[in-house]
Structure 1
């Protein structure tokens, strides 16, 4: 980048870019600035992190007015500003612009992955893979120069490693940073569960950061505001079976089995005889078709099943 002409990147241009007001040439200049130096990307990532930890509710930004107030006190080039100074002095100015960049309902830089009908499997711009069950949502900047996204609901991520550009995910109260790993996140009204399949992630809540390694899971209690880390047992892995299609049952009640199978294959399963829910099953499945799974379950317990579109009915007598 040093041997060709480019538009200088300063505070005014950066704020215009974040507010969605930069022209094509200016946007290209900032893209080059991000590509040129890992420190530039880290500066921008720190700004986004500052917003994610304390941004106000969205409202349309007045970038010009904000810059005029900011520039009255500070007039140094962006590329020479220390990260800590940026976070302290610019976070208040840029948080609204960052919100606009990521959350404006019709912003040209916003991308949205959303599925209410089926399990969604998609590849992100950095070639990381995300799998989400129906009703979950992922928001991120289409350029994805800085790998930052926000998840609502549940998602399984297989992140492509990039030491110079960590993958950062905001999930409700938690801030998750990862270089390259596979992990699942599930949010519920009472808790948030982070399960690591391989690699490791750093989960931050407020000023507290907890590293979660492969084979372990972190549970954040949203009522008590506490964090616990435990081993991921075989049944725990069923939580993200919708992504891996690997199911593990050891003496599990049929009602639990059909719940996990229904989520994994995105179908509705009804037990016509509620007492069959007490029947217990020990078996594993590893990506087999739904028909095979149903055959094994019903044959093992002496039951029958019928399929009508997306609805499955399992009938038979209770176990003795």
Structure 2
């Protein structure tokens, strides 16, 4: 017996009209949001459309054949051959689906890949002229042809300003979320356990892959999804603070040093470290726009009253300032 995935069962139930009207409507919405489900459905639809007869019709025909074997013998033989070919095709297709389902989609589906290093931010334009800004230690994958589909895969953090096309939705795939838009500007962050989608303008639909739940975001709203607890939060956010990085600005808003280090290290591509617990708990607030590393160090020393020493290549120690 062939073990079917959840998506495969849903596709079969939809094609055989076993789903209720409400369930069919939900399934049709999911088809527009989940690329993997759409691929599975298209494969099963192809088999369904090319199947010679339904099983019910085949059983009814079989009863008639038992009553009149001589008249229907040739038809029966022909259908038996066709059915064998069809079931063989179905088995081969299921093997293909299983391979595609268990293989990383982001490795198989995209022809272009761009990654950034620590301290690096990169701007690029996609084939439909949509703007993308990648933050440090991030990755985007996409195809060269956007004529029929506009799909990208993102890891890390990226800002999108999507070219409007009501006929071809733009879908951003991440490990945990799918974001579907027509034309809008938004930020995606998958770096930490709290995955976020922050909408600057337009409208997006966010699908949580694990639960298959989705919700819409309006301007100045963001979704926070915690992959450990599965908690989902929808809230308003400060656009300037959330998107400052794309304008080469680092904002530290009343953060203790311990929590600010990741943002600082990622932004400048170096490693600042602290061994003094008093400094770890010291709060810092500041906006550092287009400052190089030396300028940033001078600013931090002045604002936080600390001393920063270079201890190794790309490694700095933040210590107490003992000067009177």
TM-score normalised over the length of structure 2? 0.60
Tell me the alpha carbon deviations over residues 287-320 of structure 1, each in whole angstroms, 9 at most, x when there is no partner: 33333222111112222224454323322249xx
Structure 2 residue aligned with 1:112: 113
Q: Which one of the candidate residues 221, 225, 229 is aligned to 1:220?
A: 225
Tell me the alpha carbon deviations over residues 258-302 of structure 1, each in whole angstroms, 9 at most, x when there is no partner: 332222222211225342122222322333333322211111222
Which has the larger Rg?
A: 2
Residues 1:276 and 1:164: Cα distance change in structure 2 (over 3 Å) = same
Q: Which runs of 5 or more structure 2 residues have no equivalent in the other structure?
A: 1-29, 53-92
Q: Which residues in structure 2 correspond to 1:118-129 (within 5 Å)?
A: 119-123=120-124, 124-129=126-131
Q: Helix, strand or coil for the counterpart of 1:313? A: strand
Residues 1:159 and 1:287: Cα distance change in structure 2 (over 3 Å) = farther
Structure 2 residue aligned with 1:202: 205
Q: Which one of the candidate residues 160, 166, 169 is aligned to 2:169?
A: 166
For this pair of structures, how many residues does the alignment match? Answer: 248
Structure 2 residue aligned with 1:136: 138
Structure 2 residue aligned with 1:312: 316
Residues 136 and 151, structure 1, Cα contact 8 Å, conserved in 2: yes
Residues 242 and 263, structure 1, Cα contact 8 Å, conserved in 2: no
Aligned alpha-carbon RMSD (Å): 4.1
Residues 1:220 and 1:102: Cα distance change in structure 2 (over 3 Å) = closer
Cα distance in 2 for partners of 1:68, 1:164 equals 23
Q: Which residues in structure 2 correspond to 1:210-249 (within 5 Å)?
A: 210-233=215-238, 237=242, 241-249=244-252
Structure 2 residue aligned with 1:275: 278
Structure 1 residue aligned with 2:264: 261
Structure 1 residue aligned with 2:187: 184
Residues 1:137 and 1:251: Cα distance change in structure 2 (over 3 Å) = closer
1:72 and 2:73 are equivalent in the alignment: no
Structure 1 residue aligned with 2:36: 52
Residues 51 and 98, structure 1, Cα contact 8 Å, conserved in 2: no
Residues 1:135 and 1:92: Cα distance change in structure 2 (over 3 Å) = farther
Which stretch of structure 1 is more off in the superposition, 118-127 or 210-219? Answer: 118-127
* CA shift for structure 1 position 128: 2.2
Cα distance in 2 for partners of 1:275, 1:254 equals 10
Residues 1:115 and 1:305: Cα distance change in structure 2 (over 3 Å) = same
Residues 156 and 183, structure 1, Cα contact 8 Å, conserved in 2: yes
More helix by share: 2
Q: Helix, strand or coil for the counterpart of 2:214? A: strand
Cα distance in 2 for partners of 1:49, 1:117 equals 32
Cα distance in 2 for partners of 1:187, 1:154 equals 6
Cα distance in 1 for partners of 2:175, 2:98 equals 18
Residues 120 and 133, structure 1, Cα contact 8 Å, conserved in 2: yes
Residues 119 and 270, structure 2, Cα contact 8 Å, conserved in 1: no
Tell me the alpha carbon deviations over residues 150-171 of structure 1, each in whole angstroms, 9 at most, x when there is no partner: 2233322232333333321122
TM-score normalised over the length of structure 1? 0.61
* CA shift for structure 1 position 70: 5.3
Which stretch of structure 1 is more off in the superposition, 165-174 or 222-231? Answer: 222-231
Q: Which residues in structure 2 correspond to 1:83-94 (within 5 Å)?
A: none
